[in-house]
Each structure stands twice: as structure tokens, then as C-alpha cells.
Amino acid sequence: MPAQRQLDGTRQPRPLWQHACAVVLHGWAEHAYHEAGPIMLSEADYLAAIKAAQKVVLCKDGKSQPIPYKGALSPHCPHFKDGLPEPVPVKE
């Protein structure tokens, strides 16, 4: 199993703006507040969260927005209490 990573800003494999986008989208700051410590993620989950935070998709409600990676989403995230938005299927 991959090593767990603390998301405390000291070891970031991506530029700061990408990390900051993932923090907001996935509710990691709220997690740190409520759990009195940073969220622990595998390297793969962290990188998937970074990628998800950079991708904007069209959702079925007509809005364009990033959709968080479920494996990195904090249960304390205030943005998706009613569930995640559904993206419009892409025609290939």
C-alpha cells in the first residue's frame, strides 16, 4: 500500500496554485479544522485530487465546474452536502 501523505503544505509535488485548488474543492481545510489534523491520502489519491481540481466539466444542471475526486473528498466538505454534481456524458 502506498505511503500516506500529510497535506500540510510542506511536501507538494505540484505548484502551490494546483494544491490550493484541490484544498478548496475537496474540503481539506474544513477537515483539518474538524479533525484537528490534516487529511491523510495516498499519493495516488492526492494526485487524482490535483487533476480533478484542474478539470472543469459541464454538469447536467447546466453549470460548468470541477468535480472532486471521491477518494480525496473530506466528509466535512461544505460544497457537496447534497451529493456530487453529475457531468454530462462526453460524446466521442
DSSP alpha helix (H) spans, 11-84:
16-26, 28-35, 43-54
What pLDDT, in 10s, does the model give residues 25-71?
999 999 999 999 999 999 899 999 999 999 988 888 888 889 899 99
In the chain, the percentage of residues whose pLDDT exceeds 90 is 46
What's the predicted TM-score (pTM) here?
Answer: 0.74
Which of 45, 40, 66, 50 lies closest to 17, judged by CA?
Answer: 50
What backbone phi and psi angles, to 5 degrees, belong to 20?
-60, -40
